[in-house]
Amino acid sequence: MKWILVFSVLIADWMIIEKMREGFWLWIFVDGFFSINNFIKKDFAQSVVFAFYAFMGIYGLFCWH
């Protein structure tokens, strides 16, 4: 499961490079999942990092021109 999510993030990065707005949605979803998953595993530092990445994805989605 983890490798599927890793490849999903790479696809999202490629989509954003190709100026596809949907890449942000994929990025937000995967980073949100990783944030919650790490929180459940009590890896709080990693959870905060992925929550910040998800926030950056939300910010990027609304700032995209």
Contacts of 12 (CB under 8 A, 6+ apart): 23, 24, 26, 27, 30
DSSP state of 38: H
Chain CA centroid to CA 10, Å: 10
Number of domains in the chain: 1
Q: Which domain holds residue 31?
A: 2-63
Q: What's the pLDDT score for residue 64?
A: 81
User: What does the pLDDT average to over 30-42?
Assistant: 94
Look at the pTM and tell me if it is higher than 0.85.
no
